[in-house]
Structure 1
Amino acid sequence: MKRKVFVVMPITITLVMALLIPVSFVTTTTARAGQVPFGTATSPDIPISHRDRVYTADQWSNTVTVTDPVDNKLLGVIRLGETTPANLSPLYSGQVLVHGMGFSPDHRTLLVVSIGSNSVAFIDTATNAVKHITYVGRSPHEAFYTPDGKEVWVTVRGENYVSVLDGTSYQEKMRITVPNGPGMTIFSPDGKYGYVCSSFTPETDVITVADHKIVGRVTQASPFCPNIAATPDGKQVWFTLKDTGKTEVFDAHPPFSILKTLDTGPITNHINIVHNAHGTFAYITIGGLNEVKVFRTDNFAQVATILVGALPHGIWPSGDGTRIYTGLENGDSLVAINTLTNKVLGTSPIGQACQAITYVPNAVPSSAGTQGLTSLGIAEQATHLSLVPRENGKPAQLKSGQQAPTSVSLFDQGQVQVLQAAVTGLAPKHSYVLALSSDPNGNGTLEPLEAFTTNQAGAAIVNTVGPIRQVVQGQENMTRRYLVIVPGTVQQQSAPVQVQAP
């Protein structure tokens, strides 16, 4: 009898992170209240209420999760697309890889970027209905409204420009040419400058909002910047570098000098600014360490480290700065943090692989605001594993409180799953293979799933697709296999360096 061979067809997906921005109607009397991006250091705070909403962009389920922040209650999801393999059909018309988000200055429009379908969806916050979808260039990553609500700037990361949309008609009005791979735009609180970092080129550009001219260039310590934030006093701009695990700060005014470079940790993801009774602070999600790190903006001192769970990604404060929320990309959870104590208040479920998050005060002026929402459905189903170092030919025993260097989530799409591994603890800039072994210690013949190269911090985000959960759990009469990471290539591998934890 011939032995059946299980084969996983890997699908490499370039992750493009996106933060969304708001679409709002144009008005000259927009209230300047709450936290950044539309509040200033002197703006009145907006107390947390049941009219507020927290939104997450869920990449693999192609949903937007909607949460009431008062009691961290899941209200439902806005379904923008289908899961794999339905979204592979040539007749498919939904959105793919829901990734970034933001909101309008009047808090009435949610903006959602889908990187796989090159779209920006404009959603009514009161009814959860899609008002319009604008299609832009290849792989848009982030989008944000100018503080006056007249324009939406979309960073088209797969190309070399910012697509400027009209804030009322939602149509593209012009393009601003920038270095290849613009990652995100954030604006100065006074609306004078747009700061555009890059994910492919080590340069952040400063652009005047009035005439769309580049007036400053800031050298990034490395090319991959996914996220950027401005302080409400208008003095500083902070941006993260995912490839090197650093965060940089520069002067928000000419000559836009670098003020500080911080070593924050592997898979440094998003950053946001909180102003509360204790001062002004930068909150940074460190995906490879499962932490949120907190720094003062006056002296750059780190004041807190908050353990939150697997692969924190997007982060956004409440309208009064007393809470901040982060989405766990590999943990399927929204985490609420008290910013006065820097303690976790609670968690609630969200869709698959949260990328961006935004908190919209007064998003629902009246009614329950649950129209059009559906249940999580299959998006609730995920299997979570971890990989640990291999020592003496066996999985290492972690000490109490020690975290596994690699977290793995298997996001159910039906009969297949999207595997996502947040890998850390490896040699920088080296080639590795994620594979399956029939032996729990990683011995014997390996079946490669996906090849990858670590970044300068010895980390990587690795994706593949297949019926992997059934295999690693020994279901459906399949011979059980175990996930391992080995140095080398698909054609030639060495002994495993990380193996699936028992």
Structure 2
Amino acid sequence: FARDGSAVSVVSVSSNAVQVLDPATNKVQTTAYVGRSPHEAFVSPDGKTVWAAIRGEGYVSVIDRETGEVQDRITTASGPSKVVFSPDGAHAFVNHLFANTVAVIDVASRKVMDEIAVPEQAGGSADEAVTPDGKELWLGHPGTGHTTVIDARTFKVKAVLETGPRTNHPNFVTRDGTDYAYVTVGGLNQTKIFRRTDGEPEEIGKIEHSGVAPHGIWPSPDNSRLYVVLQKSDAVDIIDTATNEVIKTLSVGQDPQALIYVANAAPGAEGANLGEQGLGNRVENIAIEVRGAEGASASANIRHVAGVDEIDITARGLPAGQSFTVFGQNEGGSHPIRSIKAGDNGVVGEALAYADYFDTYTGLLLLPEGQKP
């Protein structure tokens, strides 16, 4: 978003596009076609350009906000994931999914001025956020379940925190003079809470969500509320930061991943040019029965899309490299839906199948390949 609330940038990963919306009318102002698989972007501090991380390539695109013309490309390491700016507007930070590094870019010259090495145990980073006071940069590492905290002034790593499987987005709240960081952990269906200190952050609690796979997170400007999207439940949890409890859950569109809160962006324009894509479609999260792999667990997110049901399968604790078959179960027996293979860590992060599930099956079964139900 633009810092004055006059624009919102939206990245379309599968269309290789970056668009700018006018919040007052909710209409698209410009569209820029960029490189392969752009991921996350921010409007520059001066409001004139949009900086987008092109994760399928290896650079940041600088786009003219008014015309959609790509003005510049800033080369970085492989798989840049997001661009965030320091509060003073002097620096841009770019994290990477396929490289253990953060690029520090001088905004005025658009040149990479430093590289911050991310510890190997943390690995690639999908999301990042800079604290409102400009002191720290927090990185989420979904593949390893870590969060890295970097001193955004000295460009030195302060801490690597073990936060849990599919660690996603960080964000920040200040209440009663105390600074807090919140990190969504998709694999635990939790948001973890840390007290920020001059040294290593202190974990002080966690929030249990109403649904599955918390992902994006953003506070209200007065820091009284946190909003967390539940990717696999098509919902948003609203959290009271005084109690750190979920006080309301809203149904939203399909597969939400990120959100922002822009105060007073559209005065008097409530409801203008809005739609209801995917709102109210059926979605369920179920446990999958696992046989032949002691200690393993699996689950499926099932949602109705475009006349068919999408089955999103995840599993943990499987024998590394072993193949399995997922069966749909009903009164007539068990029927194979798809094969999956565990990675070197015994995890299947996401395996998609499409079938008429809701009208056909009552459950799912996971068996070693070749084994019959």
Give the TM-score taking structure 1 as reference length.
0.68
Whole-angstrom distance in 2 between the partners of 1:192 and 1:314: 26
Give 5+ residue unaligned stretches, structure 2: none
Match of 2:15 in 1: 117
CA apart distance, 1:306: 0.4
Is contact 1:243-1:457 (8 Å) kept? Answer: no
Whole-angstrom distance in 1 between the partners of 2:61 and 2:15: 16
SS at the partner of 1:116? helix
CA apart distance, 1:454: 3.9
Q: 2:349 aligns with which of 450, 456, 460?
A: 460
Q: 1:234 aligns with which of 129, 134, 138?
A: 134
SS at the partner of 2:307? coil
Whole-angstrom distance in 1 between the partners of 2:320 and 2:59: 29
CA apart distance, 1:434: 5.2
Whole-angstrom distance in 2 between the partners of 1:451 and 1:416: 20
Deviations 1:125-150 (A, max 9, x none): 12211222211111111111122212
SS at the partner of 2:259? strand
SS at the partner of 1:169? coil
Higher RCO (CA < 8 A, seq sep 6+): 1
Q: 2:221 aligns with which of 293, 299, 319?
A: 319
Whole-angstrom distance in 1 between the partners of 2:346 and 2:150: 22
Match of 1:147 in 2: 45
Match of 2:317 in 1: 426
Q: 1:483 aligns with which of 348, 361, 364?
A: 364
Whole-angstrom distance in 2 between the partners of 1:334 and 1:457: 30
Q: 2:150 aligns with which of 250, 260, 263?
A: 250
1:68-147 paired onto structure 2 within 5 Å? 103-147=1-45
Whole-angstrom distance in 1 between the partners of 2:346 and 2:96: 18
Match of 1:179 in 2: 77
Is 1:192 the equivalent of 2:90? yes
Change (3 A) 1:117 1:216: same
Deviations 1:326-361 (A, max 9, x none): 011111111001112111111010011111111111
Change (3 A) 1:314 1:392: closer
Is contact 1:450-1:463 (8 Å) kept? Answer: no
Change (3 A) 1:326 1:377: closer
Match of 1:283 in 2: 182
Whole-angstrom distance in 2 between the partners of 1:432 and 1:257: 42
CA RMSD of aligned residues (A): 2.7
Whole-angstrom distance in 1 between the partners of 2:321 and 2:182: 30
CA apart distance, 1:466: 3.1
Is contact 1:115-1:140 (8 Å) kept? Answer: yes
Q: Match of 1:252, as an amino acid?
A: A
SS at the partner of 1:472? coil
CA apart distance, 1:370: 0.3
Change (3 A) 1:211 1:380: same
Deviations 1:155-186 (A, max 9, x none): 11111111111233332101011111111111
Whole-angstrom distance in 2 between the partners of 1:134 and 1:314: 24
Change (3 A) 1:333 1:305: same
Change (3 A) 1:438 1:410: closer
SS at the partner of 2:358? helix
SS at the partner of 1:355? coil
- Higher strand proportion: 2
Q: Match of 2:214, as an amino acid?
A: P
Is 1:382 the equivalent of 2:283? yes
CA apart distance, 1:224: 2.9
Change (3 A) 1:450 1:193: farther
Whole-angstrom distance in 2 between the partners of 1:171 and 1:486: 52
Is contact 1:285-1:315 (8 Å) kept? Answer: yes
Change (3 A) 1:117 1:251: same
Deviations 1:395-442 (A, max 9, x none): x9xxxxxxx954422221232122223x353248544445115589xx
Q: Match of 1:122, as an amino acid?
A: V
Is 1:415 the equivalent of 2:307? yes
Q: Match of 1:381, as an amino acid?
A: R
Is contact 1:243-1:456 (8 Å) kept? Answer: no
Change (3 A) 1:437 1:169: closer
Match of 2:165 in 1: 266
Q: Match of 2:282, as an amino acid?
A: Q
Whole-angstrom distance in 1 between the partners of 2:149 and 2:346: 20
Is contact 1:434-1:483 (8 Å) kept? Answer: no
Match of 1:50 in 2: none
Change (3 A) 1:448 1:381: closer
Q: Match of 1:466, as an amino acid?
A: A
Whole-angstrom distance in 2 between the partners of 1:456 and 1:206: 32
Whole-angstrom distance in 1 between the partners of 2:372 and 2:107: 54
Whole-angstrom distance in 2 between the partners of 1:244 and 1:237: 18
Change (3 A) 1:227 1:151: same
Change (3 A) 1:204 1:457: farther
Q: Match of 1:307, as an amino acid?
A: E
Q: Match of 1:416, as an amino acid?
A: V
Q: Match of 1:300, as an amino acid?
A: P
Give the TM-score taking structure 2 as reference length.
0.90
Match of 1:435 in 2: 326
Is contact 1:140-1:156 (8 Å) kept? Answer: yes
Deviating more after overlay: 444-453 vs 355-364: 444-453
Change (3 A) 1:197 1:452: farther
Is contact 2:48-2:65 (8 Å) kept? Answer: yes
Deviating more after overlay: 232-241 vs 143-152: 143-152
Match of 2:202 in 1: 301
Change (3 A) 1:270 1:377: closer
**How many equivalent pairs are there?**
367
